[in-house]
Amino acid sequence: MRIFDPHIHMTSRTTDDYEAMHAAGVRAVVEPSFWLGQPRTSPASFFDYFDSLLGWEPFRAAQHGITHHCTLALNPKEANDPRCTPVLDALPRYLVKDSVVAVGEIGYDSMTPAEDTALAAQLQLAADHGLPALVHTPHRDKAAGLRRTLDVLRESALTPERVVLDHLNETTVGEAADSGCWLGFSVYPDTKMDPERMVRILRLHGTDRVMVNSAADWGHSDPLKTRQVGEAMLAAGFGDDAVDKVLWRNPVAFYAQSGRLDLGPTPPPGALHEGNSILRGGE
């Protein structure tokens, strides 16, 4: 089983996670920029973070045989903080980088006017840079949040096939599917989706334009949930081809729209990144 996790926050994970993911079949990931967990106090904090997603994290992933790409954006939660919004002006110099395969996460958290502005601006940046967009649908008021998201998308320069609507569930999948956008599902230990619910959705809606991710971060999450979905699909009677489509070919097709997706062989372990290795205490 080969797995491409299209939404995972590896900055928050350990090398043990990388080892376990590789053993489970994960060979590629996309890491969207997201909230730190506490308020950032200046745009400079974002820039160091973006640089790590473009440099150190791809190196760390490669040491475990996993290719790493990223999506960059001002996330919805921090779009409400005036200290952070200057990031929008600096994003163009980051969106031209080779390993950036989409603009994201963008979308809604609390559905404020500031979030409206940031979403529209970043959809335009995606269009200007020929990139798809990873759109975060809110965790609260999901149906209303999806409708508001779709209203903004219809006014944007991006076509639906260049947008993935993430964090969907049973209450939003129907309307999201009707929009023509890609469908993203985050599978968590206790919240969001679980493997069995994901299988039921796949039975109802099929495997076209569907991507399953772990969205694993610093909270209670599990980077092996993608593998568990694949196993649940097989147990439910889906064939190997359907599993491969959901867990590999679909995310490849979506992010390949950037023209930057490179799934070639990773460098051999033991290399250095700017003079540093992932090893500590050795020669």
Q: Is 35 exposed, middle or buried (0-12, 13-18, 19+ CB in 10 A)?
A: middle
**96-139 per-position pLDDT tens digit:** 999 999 999 999 999 999 999 999 999 999 999 999 999 999 88
Q: Please classify residue 76 by burial: count the beta carbons closer than 10 Å to its beta carbon, then call 0-12 exposed, 13-18 middle and 19+ buried.
A: buried
Amino acid present at 209: R
pLDDT tens, position by position, 55-107: 999 999 999 999 999 999 999 999 999 999 999 999 999 999 999 999 999 99
Bond prior to 105 in cis (omega within 30° of 0):
yes
Residue 191 CB neighbours (<10 A):
11
The confidence band for 224, taking pLDDT boundaries of 50, 70 and 90, is very high
Overall average pLDDT of the 2-17 stretch: 96
**pTM score, two decimals?**
0.93
Q: Indicate if the pLDDT at residue 283 is higher than 70.
A: no
**Of residues 106, 19, 91, 5, the one with CA closest to residue 50:** 91
Q: What is the model's pLDDT at position 281? A: 47
Measured distance CA(191)–CA(212) in Å, rounded:
15
Q: For residues 154 and 152, give the distance between their C-alpha atoms in angstroms, rounded to a whole number.
A: 5
Q: In the prediction, which pLDDT does 274 show?
A: 63
